[in-house]
Amino acid sequence: MKKKIILSEADIDRIIEMAWEDRTPFDAILSQFGISESETIELMRKNMKRSSFKMWRARVQGRATKHLKKSPMDEFAFKSRMQKPIALNKISKRK
């Protein structure tokens, strides 16, 4: 029996954002939110327009960067090496 995971609207938005990014592997979504690749695809299907989902699905299907086993990236590197660190992010320091 599979455990039902309850996600907030913010979690769903973040999962969609991560899945939409070409360099974020499905394994990163699994480790952060506990949902598999197939569950991510189903979430995308339910929360996107049909045309947007079809475009995304065609783009990521079989893409090496979306699967750690196929990807040339380090096993635990969930972000692009080109991405800037967020330590000096002014928005996160607002009160």
If DSSP states are collapsed to H, E and C, what string results for the chain? CCCCCCCCHHHHHHHHHHHHCCCCCHHHHHHHHCCCHHHHHHHHHHHCCHHHHHHHHHHHCCCHHHCCCCCCCCCCCCCCCCCCCCCCCCHHHCC
Q: In this predicted structure, what is the pLDDT of residue 52? A: 93
State what percent of residues in the chain have pLDDT above 70.
Answer: 65
State what percent of residues in the chain have pLDDT above 90.
Answer: 44
**pLDDT above 90 for 62:** no
Q: What predicted TM-score, i.e. pTM, was given to this entire model?
A: 0.64
- Give the tens place of pLDDT for each residue, 16-41: 999 998 888 899 999 999 999 999 99
